[in-house]
Structure 1
């Protein structure tokens, strides 16, 4: 997850347009999108970032274990 989040962040910071595509697009994709929002400083907490991601794709349903992974990456968030 962390490698995917960093890769997307680097692409965005280099001015590239990034699209997310996944068969389901709910759990892992939502987790990466949420992490990217945190990395880019567009949200201050995991919950806020998840809500922003859900605002764009309401189907996102991050499982608790993936939310815990994010909280491990961003403990103060």
Structure 2
């Protein structure tokens, strides 16, 4: 993965927590450089990059905005009369 750690952390406020859960930053013994790529950091610390990306992707899915067609779902559908 070519995204830097800093770029990844700027995408969502909980990315740093995910990294810390994988022992990538978050404590003095597992500090990481924000200019390294996520792939480089995973390789250096023996972290499965695919597993990390799966967790980050799930984080982004949970934070995704509500689609326009789902907004207003509590409103009465057009064309239906009571």
TM bin, normalised by shorter chain, reads under 0.3
Which structure is larger by alpha-carbon Rg, 1 or 2?
Answer: 2
More helix by share: 1
The TM-score with structure 2 as length reference comes to 0.26
